[in-house]
Amino acid sequence: MSGTGVLEALRSRGVDAHPFDPGTQSLAELEAAKFDRVFIALHGRFGEDGTIQGVLETLGIPYTGSGVQASAIAIDKLLTKRLWEAEGLATPDWRVAQADTDWRRMVAELGDALIVKPAHEGSTIGITKVLTHDSDELAAAYATAAHYDASVLIEQLIEGRELTCAILGEGATARALPLIEIRAPGGNYDYEHKYVSHETQYLCPAPLDDAMAHEIQQLCLRAYAAVGARGWGRVDVMLAQDARGDRPYLIELNTSPGMTSHSLVPIAARAVGMSYADVVLDILARARLETAR
Protein backbone atom coordinates (compact mmCIF):
# COMPACT_ATOMS: atom_id res chain seq x y z
CA MET A 1 0.00 0.00 0.00
CA SER A 2 2.83 2.39 0.85
CA GLY A 3 4.69 1.55 -2.35
CA THR A 4 1.62 2.04 -4.53
CA GLY A 5 0.94 5.45 -2.98
CA VAL A 6 4.54 6.58 -3.41
CA LEU A 7 4.69 5.34 -7.01
CA GLU A 8 1.50 7.18 -7.98
CA ALA A 9 2.70 10.37 -6.28
CA LEU A 10 6.04 10.32 -8.09
CA ARG A 11 4.44 9.71 -11.46
CA SER A 12 1.93 12.52 -10.82
CA ARG A 13 4.90 14.87 -10.55
CA GLY A 14 6.52 13.68 -13.76
CA VAL A 15 9.12 11.37 -12.21
CA ASP A 16 10.04 8.36 -14.37
CA ALA A 17 9.27 5.93 -11.52
CA HIS A 18 8.98 2.14 -11.66
CA PRO A 19 7.97 -0.41 -9.02
CA PHE A 20 10.42 -3.04 -7.83
CA ASP A 21 9.43 -5.76 -5.36
CA PRO A 22 12.39 -7.72 -3.92
CA GLY A 23 9.87 -10.28 -2.69
CA THR A 24 9.15 -11.34 -6.27
CA GLN A 25 12.05 -9.94 -8.30
CA SER A 26 15.74 -10.82 -8.11
CA LEU A 27 18.51 -8.47 -7.05
CA ALA A 28 20.13 -9.15 -10.42
CA GLU A 29 17.09 -7.46 -11.99
CA LEU A 30 17.55 -4.52 -9.63
CA GLU A 31 21.17 -4.11 -10.69
CA ALA A 32 20.32 -4.50 -14.39
CA ALA A 33 17.59 -1.82 -14.22
CA LYS A 34 20.21 0.93 -13.59
CA PHE A 35 17.92 3.02 -11.42
CA ASP A 36 19.19 6.50 -10.52
CA ARG A 37 17.84 6.18 -6.98
CA VAL A 38 15.47 4.11 -4.89
CA PHE A 39 12.58 5.16 -2.67
CA ILE A 40 12.41 2.46 -0.01
CA ALA A 41 8.78 1.71 0.88
CA LEU A 42 9.43 -1.56 2.70
CA HIS A 43 8.59 -2.09 6.38
CA GLY A 44 10.02 -4.44 8.98
CA ARG A 45 12.65 -7.10 8.44
CA PHE A 46 14.81 -7.02 5.32
CA GLY A 47 13.32 -3.66 4.27
CA GLU A 48 13.81 -1.52 7.36
CA ASP A 49 16.62 -3.31 9.22
CA GLY A 50 19.66 -2.41 7.12
CA THR A 51 19.46 -5.42 4.80
CA ILE A 52 18.16 -3.77 1.62
CA GLN A 53 20.17 -0.68 2.53
CA GLY A 54 23.32 -2.82 2.45
CA VAL A 55 22.34 -4.24 -0.93
CA LEU A 56 21.87 -0.75 -2.36
CA GLU A 57 25.20 0.41 -0.90
CA THR A 58 26.88 -2.55 -2.60
CA LEU A 59 25.16 -1.81 -5.91
CA GLY A 60 25.92 1.91 -5.62
CA ILE A 61 22.27 3.02 -5.90
CA PRO A 62 21.36 6.02 -3.72
CA TYR A 63 18.35 5.34 -1.49
CA THR A 64 15.98 7.14 0.83
CA GLY A 65 16.04 7.06 4.61
CA SER A 66 18.57 5.87 7.11
CA GLY A 67 21.72 3.95 6.28
CA VAL A 68 22.72 0.43 7.21
CA GLN A 69 23.82 1.06 10.78
CA ALA A 70 20.98 3.38 11.85
CA SER A 71 18.41 1.09 10.24
CA ALA A 72 19.80 -1.94 12.06
CA ILE A 73 19.83 -0.08 15.37
CA ALA A 74 16.33 1.33 15.08
CA ILE A 75 14.71 -2.02 14.23
CA ASP A 76 16.26 -3.42 17.43
CA LYS A 77 14.18 -2.01 20.28
CA LEU A 78 16.66 -3.22 22.92
CA LEU A 79 19.67 -1.57 21.30
CA THR A 80 17.69 1.61 20.63
CA LYS A 81 16.64 1.87 24.27
CA ARG A 82 20.21 1.30 25.43
CA LEU A 83 21.40 4.14 23.21
CA TRP A 84 18.65 6.48 24.40
CA GLU A 85 19.40 5.69 28.03
CA ALA A 86 23.11 6.36 27.41
CA GLU A 87 22.09 9.77 26.03
CA GLY A 88 19.93 10.47 29.08
CA LEU A 89 16.68 10.33 27.10
CA ALA A 90 13.55 9.13 28.89
CA THR A 91 12.17 5.75 27.83
CA PRO A 92 10.05 3.26 29.80
CA ASP A 93 11.91 0.89 32.12
CA TRP A 94 12.40 -2.55 30.57
CA ARG A 95 13.90 -6.01 30.84
CA VAL A 96 14.79 -8.80 28.43
CA ALA A 97 12.59 -11.86 28.94
CA GLN A 98 13.38 -15.55 28.53
CA ALA A 99 11.20 -18.65 28.65
CA ASP A 100 12.39 -19.30 32.22
CA THR A 101 11.96 -15.70 33.43
CA ASP A 102 10.80 -15.28 37.02
CA TRP A 103 7.57 -13.39 36.27
CA ARG A 104 6.95 -12.46 39.89
CA ARG A 105 10.32 -10.78 40.04
CA MET A 106 9.58 -9.03 36.73
CA VAL A 107 6.36 -7.60 38.14
CA ALA A 108 8.14 -6.56 41.33
CA GLU A 109 10.73 -4.64 39.31
CA LEU A 110 8.50 -3.12 36.59
CA GLY A 111 5.01 -3.09 38.08
CA ASP A 112 1.91 -5.03 37.07
CA ALA A 113 1.08 -2.94 33.98
CA LEU A 114 3.40 -4.20 31.25
CA ILE A 115 3.89 -4.41 27.49
CA VAL A 116 5.37 -7.61 26.08
CA LYS A 117 6.74 -7.25 22.55
CA PRO A 118 9.11 -8.80 20.02
CA ALA A 119 12.34 -6.80 19.92
CA HIS A 120 12.55 -6.63 16.12
CA GLU A 121 8.97 -6.25 14.88
CA GLY A 122 6.70 -3.31 14.07
CA SER A 123 3.04 -2.55 13.36
CA THR A 124 2.17 -3.83 16.88
CA ILE A 125 2.72 -7.41 15.65
CA GLY A 126 3.10 -9.86 18.54
CA ILE A 127 2.47 -7.22 21.23
CA THR A 128 0.40 -7.92 24.34
CA LYS A 129 -0.67 -5.57 27.13
CA VAL A 130 -0.63 -7.36 30.47
CA LEU A 131 -2.53 -5.55 33.23
CA THR A 132 -2.12 -8.15 35.94
CA HIS A 133 0.57 -9.86 37.98
CA ASP A 134 -0.66 -13.28 36.85
CA SER A 135 2.36 -15.40 35.84
CA ASP A 136 0.39 -17.53 33.40
CA GLU A 137 -0.81 -14.46 31.49
CA LEU A 138 2.73 -13.10 31.31
CA ALA A 139 4.03 -16.46 30.11
CA ALA A 140 1.33 -16.54 27.40
CA ALA A 141 2.25 -13.00 26.31
CA TYR A 142 5.90 -14.04 26.15
CA ALA A 143 5.00 -17.03 23.97
CA THR A 144 3.08 -14.77 21.58
CA ALA A 145 6.04 -12.41 21.20
CA ALA A 146 8.55 -15.27 20.97
CA HIS A 147 6.58 -16.68 18.02
CA TYR A 148 7.81 -13.67 16.03
CA ASP A 149 11.23 -13.08 17.54
CA ALA A 150 13.87 -14.90 19.58
CA SER A 151 14.40 -11.67 21.52
CA VAL A 152 11.50 -10.49 23.69
CA LEU A 153 11.21 -7.17 25.52
CA ILE A 154 9.12 -6.57 28.65
CA GLU A 155 8.43 -2.87 29.08
CA GLN A 156 6.73 -0.79 31.74
CA LEU A 157 3.33 0.30 30.42
CA ILE A 158 3.08 4.08 30.33
CA GLU A 159 -0.48 5.31 30.74
CA GLY A 160 -1.23 8.60 29.05
CA ARG A 161 -1.52 10.25 25.65
CA GLU A 162 -0.12 8.57 22.55
CA LEU A 163 1.86 10.94 20.33
CA THR A 164 4.08 10.67 17.28
CA CYS A 165 6.59 13.02 15.69
CA ALA A 166 7.53 12.86 12.00
CA ILE A 167 11.01 14.12 11.14
CA LEU A 168 12.51 15.16 7.79
CA GLY A 169 16.21 15.68 7.09
CA GLU A 170 19.34 14.89 9.04
CA GLY A 171 21.88 16.42 11.37
CA ALA A 172 21.50 20.07 12.28
CA THR A 173 18.97 20.61 9.48
CA ALA A 174 16.54 17.89 10.61
CA ARG A 175 13.11 19.32 11.42
CA ALA A 176 10.27 17.95 13.45
CA LEU A 177 6.82 18.25 11.90
CA PRO A 178 3.79 19.05 14.08
CA LEU A 179 2.99 16.37 16.64
CA ILE A 180 0.05 14.03 16.13
CA GLU A 181 -2.04 12.70 19.00
CA ILE A 182 -3.51 9.25 18.31
CA ARG A 183 -6.83 8.39 19.91
CA ALA A 184 -7.75 4.78 19.21
CA PRO A 185 -10.91 3.09 20.49
CA GLY A 186 -10.27 1.88 24.02
CA GLY A 187 -6.72 3.21 23.80
CA ASN A 188 -5.83 0.15 21.74
CA TYR A 189 -3.81 1.29 18.71
CA ASP A 190 -3.34 -2.21 17.28
CA TYR A 191 -2.91 -3.47 13.70
CA GLU A 192 -6.66 -3.25 13.03
CA HIS A 193 -6.90 0.34 14.26
CA LYS A 194 -3.73 1.34 12.39
CA TYR A 195 -4.46 -0.02 8.94
CA VAL A 196 -8.08 -1.08 8.59
CA SER A 197 -10.48 0.70 10.91
CA HIS A 198 -11.65 4.27 10.39
CA GLU A 199 -12.44 4.76 14.08
CA THR A 200 -9.02 6.00 15.17
CA GLN A 201 -8.69 9.78 15.50
CA TYR A 202 -5.53 11.66 14.53
CA LEU A 203 -5.28 15.16 16.00
CA CYS A 204 -2.69 17.31 14.25
CA PRO A 205 -1.28 19.51 15.61
CA ALA A 206 -1.75 17.64 18.88
CA PRO A 207 -3.70 19.71 21.43
CA LEU A 208 -0.75 20.58 23.68
CA ASP A 209 0.55 23.88 24.95
CA ASP A 210 3.40 25.29 22.86
CA ALA A 211 6.08 24.69 25.49
CA MET A 212 5.24 21.00 25.91
CA ALA A 213 4.95 20.46 22.14
CA HIS A 214 8.37 22.03 21.64
CA GLU A 215 9.88 19.94 24.45
CA ILE A 216 8.59 16.73 22.87
CA GLN A 217 9.77 17.71 19.38
CA GLN A 218 13.26 18.43 20.73
CA LEU A 219 13.28 15.11 22.58
CA CYS A 220 12.36 13.33 19.34
CA LEU A 221 15.06 15.14 17.37
CA ARG A 222 17.63 14.06 19.97
CA ALA A 223 16.35 10.48 19.81
CA TYR A 224 16.58 10.52 16.00
CA ALA A 225 20.13 11.90 16.09
CA ALA A 226 21.27 9.44 18.77
CA VAL A 227 20.47 6.52 16.47
CA GLY A 228 22.08 8.24 13.47
CA ALA A 229 18.85 8.35 11.48
CA ARG A 230 18.64 10.46 8.34
CA GLY A 231 16.31 11.38 5.50
CA TRP A 232 13.06 10.85 7.32
CA GLY A 233 11.56 8.91 10.20
CA ARG A 234 8.94 8.91 12.91
CA VAL A 235 9.39 8.79 16.68
CA ASP A 236 6.60 7.42 18.88
CA VAL A 237 6.08 8.90 22.34
CA MET A 238 3.82 8.35 25.33
CA LEU A 239 3.01 11.41 27.43
CA ALA A 240 2.53 10.22 31.00
CA GLN A 241 0.06 12.11 33.14
CA ASP A 242 0.44 11.55 36.87
CA ALA A 243 1.00 13.38 40.13
CA ARG A 244 4.43 14.53 38.94
CA GLY A 245 2.92 16.27 35.92
CA ASP A 246 3.31 15.54 32.22
CA ARG A 247 6.42 13.65 31.16
CA PRO A 248 7.19 12.29 27.67
CA TYR A 249 8.71 8.83 27.20
CA LEU A 250 10.28 7.60 23.98
CA ILE A 251 8.80 4.33 22.71
CA GLU A 252 10.41 3.59 19.35
CA LEU A 253 11.83 5.02 16.14
CA ASN A 254 10.57 4.03 12.68
CA THR A 255 13.09 4.62 9.88
CA SER A 256 10.70 3.60 7.08
CA PRO A 257 7.28 4.76 8.26
CA GLY A 258 4.03 3.91 6.54
CA MET A 259 2.91 5.99 3.58
CA THR A 260 -0.68 4.72 3.25
CA SER A 261 -3.87 6.77 3.41
CA HIS A 262 -3.94 6.11 7.17
CA SER A 263 -0.27 6.91 7.72
CA LEU A 264 1.05 9.54 10.08
CA VAL A 265 3.89 11.23 8.19
CA PRO A 266 1.55 12.51 5.42
CA ILE A 267 -0.88 13.75 8.09
CA ALA A 268 1.88 15.73 9.83
CA ALA A 269 3.15 17.08 6.50
CA ARG A 270 -0.32 18.39 5.59
CA ALA A 271 -0.27 20.46 8.78
CA VAL A 272 2.63 22.50 7.36
CA GLY A 273 1.12 22.78 3.87
CA MET A 274 2.89 19.82 2.25
CA SER A 275 0.80 17.52 0.07
CA TYR A 276 1.41 13.77 -0.08
CA ALA A 277 3.34 14.26 -3.33
CA ASP A 278 5.34 17.12 -1.78
CA VAL A 279 6.58 14.99 1.09
CA VAL A 280 7.39 12.05 -1.22
CA LEU A 281 9.51 14.31 -3.44
CA ASP A 282 11.19 15.84 -0.37
CA ILE A 283 12.19 12.38 0.86
CA LEU A 284 13.34 11.27 -2.60
CA ALA A 285 15.49 14.39 -3.00
CA ARG A 286 17.45 13.36 0.12
CA ALA A 287 18.37 9.92 -1.27
CA ARG A 288 22.09 9.19 -1.03
CA LEU A 289 24.71 6.56 -0.33
CA GLU A 290 26.70 6.44 2.90
CA THR A 291 29.77 4.88 1.28
CA ALA A 292 31.86 7.28 -0.77
CA ARG A 293 32.56 6.15 -4.33
pLDDT of 182-218, one tens digit each?
998 766 555 554 555 567 899 999 999 999 999 999 9
User: Residues spanned by CATH 3.30.1490.20 within the chain?
Assistant: 94-156
**Mean pLDDT value across residues 91-98:** 93
What CA–CA distance (Å, rounded) separates 183 from 240? 15
Residue 249 reports pLDDT greater than 90 = yes
Phi-psi sector, 153: left (phi>0), alpha (psi -120 to 50), beta: beta
The side-by-side arrangement of strands in the sheet containing 94-97 is 94-97, 152-156, 114-118, 128-130
pLDDT for position 248: 97
Quote the pTM value: 0.91
pLDDT for position 194: 55
* CATH tag, 94-156: 3.30.1490.20
* CATH tag, 1-92+159-293: 3.30.470.20
Residue 286 reports pLDDT greater than 80 = yes
Strands (DSSP E) along the chain, which ranges?
94-97, 114-118, 128-130, 152-156, 160-168, 175-176, 180-183, 201-203, 232-242, 245-254
The whole-chain average pLDDT of the chain stands at: 91
Query: Reduced to 3 states, what is the DSSP secondary structure of residue 90?
Result: coil
- Three-state SS letters, 56-68: HHHHCCCECCCCH
**Mean pLDDT value across residues 260-265:** 85
pLDDT for position 119: 85
**Mean pLDDT value across residues 244-250:** 90
Q: Which DSSP helix (H) or strand (E) runs through 241?
A: strand 232-242
pLDDT for position 291: 85
Q: Among 123-127, 247-251, 269-273, where is mean pLDDT lowest?
A: 123-127
**Mean pLDDT value across residues 228-243:** 93
User: Residues spanned by CATH 3.30.470.20 within the chain?
Assistant: 1-92+159-293
What CA–CA distance (Å, rounded) separates 62 from 64? 7
**Mean pLDDT value across residues 216-229:** 98
